[in-house]
Amino acid sequence: MGSPGSDSYRRIYAVVRRIPRGRVATYGQVAELAGLGRAARQVGYALHALAGSSALPWQRVINAAGGISLPAGAGGLDQRFRLIAEGVLVDARGRVSLARYQWRPRTRARPESRR
DNA sequence: GCGGTGACGGTCG
DNA sequence: CCGACCGCCACCG
């Protein structure tokens, strides 16, 4: 298949799949965890390729401002419903409290890393 | 191979 | 808090 076959896309999808239910992650965060550096835009691109017809929890990926980037008419509403359905509080303007719901993957507890 | 584009992000006013 | 600007990076025509 064309683009979605690249490793980058697979890595992105792998990270998205790790986001726990009821939590959210930012595009930049996903890019970082996928080892793509600052290719946040690419993450959006990769998710766009899914067109929502995927088993992937794509709704858990939002922008750094804590908002839904996807235009309402292009699935943004759907994303909002999906988040609410799993217990995430979404503002009327489609904003989520990152302080409250952002996923914080543990940086593999290093032995001896006690501060 | 080049240039425009986008489900982004940080900074500035 | 919000909008405008500019910088980033891979995809597509």
Give A9-62 pLDDT, tens digit per residue: 999 999 999 999 999 999 999 999 999 988 999 999 999 988 776 789 999 999
Within 7 Å: CB of A8 and strand C? Answer: yes
The pLDDT tens digits for A58-110 are 999 999 999 999 988 888 999 999 999 999 999 888 999 999 999 998 876 65
Burial class (CB in 10 A: 0-12, 13-18, 19+), A2: exposed
Write down the pLDDT at residue A62.
Answer: 96
Q: How far is the CA of A115 from the C1' of B4 (A)?
A: 49
Identify the residues numbered 42 to 81 in chain A whose C-beta atom is closer than 7 Å to any atom of strand C.
42, 45
